[in-house]
Amino acid sequence: MTKTKRVAVLGSGIMGSSTALLLADSGFDVTVYDMAARPFSAASCWNEGKIHLGFLYSADPSLNTAREVIPGGLAFKPLVEKMTGCSLANATTRTEDTYLCHRDSVVSPDAMWDYAKRVAKLVSERPDAAQYLVDVSECRVEKLSAREFGQLTDSPDLLSGIRVPEHSVATTWVADRFIDALAAQPQIELCMNTRVEAVAPLSANDLQGSWRVQTGAGLSDSYDFVVNALWEGRLAVDRSAGLTTSFGWSNRYRMSVFLRTAYDVDAPSAVIATGPFGDIKNYNNRDFYLSWYPAGLLVESSELLAPPPPEMDAALESEIVSSIISELSSFFPAVADIKAAIANIELRGGWVFAVGRGNLSDPNSTLHCRDNFGIRRSGCYLSVDTGKYSSAPWLASRVVDTIAGYRQVNSPK
């Protein structure tokens, strides 16, 4: 009788939780470690939920970033619905995104339009385009007419607009469904309130053998595989496993406004691009996400272990919320309508990790190219750079395929 393989998954955000659920569904026993008190407590719960098709990355005219994020965007809906047993229909933004070119954008309006058309062609050529949040088999982009542009914004700092078929999901809704799915899976054990400090093979000379996880409480039992799905602190754990880093990176702690209105408000889902600007997400005319990058960015670090974000108090929180709403109001009159209708408001966020360095206002920053993410491996230790929220379920399926394939090849005959 074959012994059930054991896997340790580090991190309980969307990357770690997707990996754990798919592994358990494939017959593995899974232990999930996270320093938070409950899964989905940080960035995976508190972000805009954009399910990327590549339109954001007009500063990468090579289309390499678009090519890398499209597969995850198209696979997001079927994989999440499989894992949670819930339809994403009611959690998906009702209208398409509009991209607006700022006068200080790192690309010109003409370059942004040309890029959008090329990405639309890429998406249309995919055989799986129909499985996106909406059917994008005939992916099209449209320039806003002068009338449409004037109805959306009266800001002289915005130069043009493009309607693209990207949508977003309400991440708090998705988080709750993942938490329920984790609790319902008997082959998953959650070790919360536990910070992982290091990992190591049971035998120093056998990377293909069992591994242990070191926490503040000591060493764990052995595991057949370890999957590092952390964002904060992932590279430090990688280093303990012998995986070195030859690339630059950025750790950023960002906060945004999540609010619910007392009544329906007709507002756009719009992105000011490309650079350190902001966006609005309207999920259902009652639930909104508001972000202004300079106001919400609290920490930016290229250290292996980034410094902690500042302690939040009521005064600082109020200042950030006011700044985000004020900045967006200067571009979108609809934000004033949202503000007047607020019934509940929260300032939330988390860590964002990205390969690359520089400032988003610099056209030469390598942060504009986000194609360098995925799986790295040292024997039975796998480290996963999620890249984007929308890529996580697809990457998790690749992790499971890697582990299942390794088990099959190395199982006793």
pLDDT tens, position by position, 214-254 = 998 898 889 999 999 998 899 999 999 999 888 889 999 99
Are residue 307 and residue 359 in the same domain, yes or no?
yes
Report the C-alpha gap between 62 and 353 in whole angstroms.
Answer: 22
- The answer to whether 297 and 309 are in contact (CB under 8 A) is no
pLDDT of 409 > 60? The answer is: no
| Residue 22, amino acid | L
pLDDT of 15 > 50? The answer is: yes
Report pLDDT for 335: 98
Answer yes or no: is 125 within a domain.
Answer: yes
Give the pair of three-digit tokens for residue 78. Answer: 């079927």
Report the C-alpha gap between 223 and 331 in whole angstroms.
Answer: 53
pLDDT of 172 > 80? The answer is: yes
Q: Which residue has the tokens 């309508």?
A: 337
Query: What is the CATH classification number for the domain harbouring 281?
Result: 3.30.9.10
% residues pLDDT > 70 (the chain) = 98
Answer yes or no: is 58 within a domain.
Answer: no
Are residue 229 and residue 363 in the same domain, yes or no?
no
Determine the 3-state secondary structure of 313 from DSSP. coil
Contacts of 97 (CB under 8 A, 6+ apart): 50, 55, 163, 164, 166, 167, 168, 269, 270, 271
Report the C-alpha gap between 111 and 270 in whole angstroms.
Answer: 19
Q: How many domains does the chain have?
A: 2
Answer yes or no: is 323 within a domain.
Answer: yes
Are residue 187 and residue 117 in the same domain, yes or no?
no
pLDDT in tens, 36-49: 999 999 999 999 99
Are residue 162 and residue 290 in the same domain, yes or no?
yes
Are residue 165 and residue 133 in the same domain, yes or no?
yes
Report the C-alpha gap between 86 and 94 in whole angstroms.
Answer: 18
Q: Which residue has the tokens 């206002």?
A: 361
Answer yes or no: is 1 within a domain.
Answer: no
Contacts of 176 (CB under 8 A, 6+ apart): none
**Which of 368, 384, 401 is the last residue in one of the domains?**
368
pLDDT in tens, 134-153: 999 999 999 999 999 999 99
% residues pLDDT > 90 (the chain) = 92
Are residue 127 and residue 140 in the same domain, yes or no?
yes
* Cα-based angle 340, 343, 345 (whole degrees, multiple of 5): 95
pLDDT in tens, 357-397: 999 999 999 999 999 999 999 999 999 999 999 999 999 99
- The answer to whether 30 and 23 are in contact (CB under 8 A) is yes
pLDDT tier at 300, thresholds 50, 70, 90: very high
Domain coverage including residue 191: 6-42+175-247+372-410
Supply the DSSP symbol for 349. E
Answer yes or no: is 50 within a domain.
Answer: no
Report the C-alpha gap between 173 and 289 in whole angstroms.
Answer: 13
Report pLDDT for 411: 45
Q: What is the pTM of this model?
A: 0.96
Are residue 139 and residue 274 in the same domain, yes or no?
yes
Answer yes or no: is 56 within a domain.
Answer: no
DSSP 200-220: EESSTT-TTS-EEEEETTEE-
Burial 24-39 (b: 16+ CB within 10 A, else e): bebebbbbbbbbbeeb
* Cα-based angle 192, 9, 34 (whole degrees, multiple of 5): 25
Report the C-alpha gap between 270 and 135 in whole angstroms.
Answer: 20
pLDDT tier at 2, thresholds 50, 70, 90: low
Are residue 342 and residue 392 in the same domain, yes or no?
no
Are residue 106 and residue 78 in the same domain, yes or no?
yes
Are residue 157 and residue 180 in the same domain, yes or no?
no
Alpha helices, H only, 330-391: 334-340
Alpha carbon 81 to its chain's center:
17
Answer yes or no: is 51 within a domain.
Answer: no
Report pLDDT for 135: 98
Supply the DSSP symbol for 1. -
pLDDT tier at 406, thresholds 50, 70, 90: confident
- The answer to whether 383 and 399 are in contact (CB under 8 A) is no
Give the pair of three-digit tokens for residue 315. Answer: 């005064």
pLDDT of 194 > 50? The answer is: yes
Report pLDDT for 221: 86
Answer yes or no: is 356 within a domain.
Answer: yes
pLDDT in tens, 82-122: 999 999 999 999 999 999 999 999 999 999 999 999 999 99
The mean predicted confidence, pLDDT, of the chain is 95
Are residue 289 and residue 165 in the same domain, yes or no?
yes
Are residue 327 and residue 191 in the same domain, yes or no?
no
- Partner residues linked to 143 by β-bridges: 162
Report the C-alpha gap between 363 and 78 in whole angstroms.
Answer: 35
Report pLDDT for 1: 46
- Partner residues linked to 256 by β-bridges: 348
Report pLDDT for 80: 98
Query: What is the CATH classification number for the domain harbouring 384?
Result: 3.50.50.60
Element of type H or E holding 252:
strand 249-261
